Structure 1
Amino acid sequence: MTARPASPPRPPIGQAVTFLYADPPEPSWRFYQEVLGLRLVQDQGACRIYAAAEGNTAFLGVCRARAPRATDNPRAVGGVVFTFVAEDVDGWYAHLSAQGVPIPHPPALSAQYRVYHFFFRDPAGYTLEIQRFDRPDWPAP
């Protein structure tokens, strides 16, 4: 039996980008930049990429869709929930409410996941969440 050669060390991952697709994308671009106040870091024409967190480690790309959405259910295959982790969940709730963003339920504690959070949707119908981890095993930024 021959020994497998040792694999090289895993290269580091320094950043992450999540892409969402919208048609038309302009309302979503305005929402992420003007309502959520995300900083635009790159305009690629059909895609715009925003800083989703401090420190240039997490980004959200919003691109022109090439086909209709398959489902509005974020828990179905192909669905998505984009979560912003923030300490001041109530502050975000107040800010978004003042901007006229429809929020079906106020912030609440999920005992199952030990998070304090609320959900809302962007103009393209994607489910977004603002949450704070209320557990000691979540890594601090």
Structure 2
Amino acid sequence: MDTQTESGTLPVNAQVTFLYYKDLAAPEHFYGEQLGFEKTFDKGWVKFFRITAHSYVGLVDEAKGHHKASDAKAVMVSMETPELEAWYERMQQSGAEIVVHYDPAKAAEQMVSTFLMRDPGGYSVEFFRFNKRD
């Protein structure tokens, strides 16, 4: 049964970005405890954390997943939020590894304000807010 929308696209219920690790303990703590995202699925070797109503980060043990963990991390999980300052303060207090710090002085001249962290597996995790929308 074809259930195309008015624009002709087919429906998608949710989106999951899968990240691969050698050990899930530290990333599970990072996404669940430090970031405070709700774990909605846990089969031991794969775990989902809800980011928004329909988007998730999936943590996968490389021993059972489709891919292997690698040193090169060409993936960044980015989250847009109106509460950028609150997230930044929370992450500083939690001891997250912040690699690009939030700079409110640059907000007027930049399209986005942002800060960037590294998760325990080396993946980039960004929080940002649009200052200007084209």
- Percent identity, please: 26
1:121 alignment partner in structure 2: 118
Equivalent pairs, count:
121
The alignment status of 1:16 with 2:11, answered yes or no, reads: no
2:40 alignment partner in structure 1: 41
**Equivalent in 56, 59, 65 of residue 62 of structure 1:** 59
Unaligned stretches of 5+ residues in structure 1: 1-7, 73-78
Deviations 1:13-57 (A, max 9, x none): 22111100111111101110000000011002200001011xx21
* Runs of 4 or more above 3 Å deviation: 108-112
Unaligned stretches of 5+ residues in structure 2: none
Q: CA RMSD in A?
A: 1.8
Structure 2 Cα separation of the partners of residues 105 and 11 of structure 1 = 38
2:130 alignment partner in structure 1: 133
Instruction: Say which structure is richer in helix.
Output: 2
Larger Rg, first or second structure (1 or 2): 1
TM-score w.r.t. structure 2 length? 0.81
TM-score w.r.t. structure 1 length? 0.77
Structure 1 Cα separation of the partners of residues 11 and 122 of structure 2 = 33
Deviations 1:94-141 (A, max 9, x none): 1011011121332134756x111011100001001000112235xxxx
Structure 2 Cα separation of the partners of residues 117 and 101 of structure 1 = 15
